[in-house]
Structure 1
Amino acid sequence: MTTTADERHPATDELRLVKVLGALADPVRVAIVRTLAGLGESPCVELRRAAELTIGQPTFSHHQRVLREAGVLRERVQGAQRIVSLRGEDLDACFPGLLTAVLATHPDQVR
């Protein structure tokens, strides 16, 4: 059974540029966004592995929460897994070109 947790995400009209930019102001979070853009949708465990980050699970969960609360990520529960995806359409509707610019930035320019 799949359930959604929309109450944990800001609605599209509640997205704020300062919150989104703040969430994207960390190289680890940008790496998570880049990885997720390539995967499309991913269970949290696989996303952490695919991002090849050298951080512990609690730290990864913190970064994921910051991105979710800013409205960059959407999370849904499927069985025992949390499935994460980018809110690309919502971000583009509120801040046209922002996500494209972030994804086009060379990784060396993020650090």
Structure 2
Amino acid sequence: MSDKLKVLKKQGLFVFLDILRLHRKKLPIELRSFGDVYVKQEFRQHQDANSRQYEMFLEQWQYYLADLKSMKDVKQIGKKISEEDKLLLNDDQMKTLSQLEEETKKTFKKE
């Protein structure tokens, strides 16, 4: 493992822990459990990424972390993904996005 990747992984650990902490602090239990599982899966899936991939992965989670930090209440969660951004997603990412949308709809239907 390169030195750069070691530094990125250490940063990733802090981002991961901050996200879980903010989930506990700001999200209702239904969303928190869903969000925690999703975050853990994503970080697990990227353990073997190279430096460039992990850097891009971490950057996106840092954006999410910044959104969580600025969130005042649960009604503010998330934001619409632009069509331009959707075009940048690969097939696996589109599948994950669709699954996330379905699970979110199920969660909010229960309420």
TM-score by length of 2: 0.28
Which has the higher relative contact order, 1 or 2, with Cα contacts under 8 A spaced 6 or more apart?
Answer: 1
TM-score by length of 1: 0.28
Structure having the higher strand fraction is 1
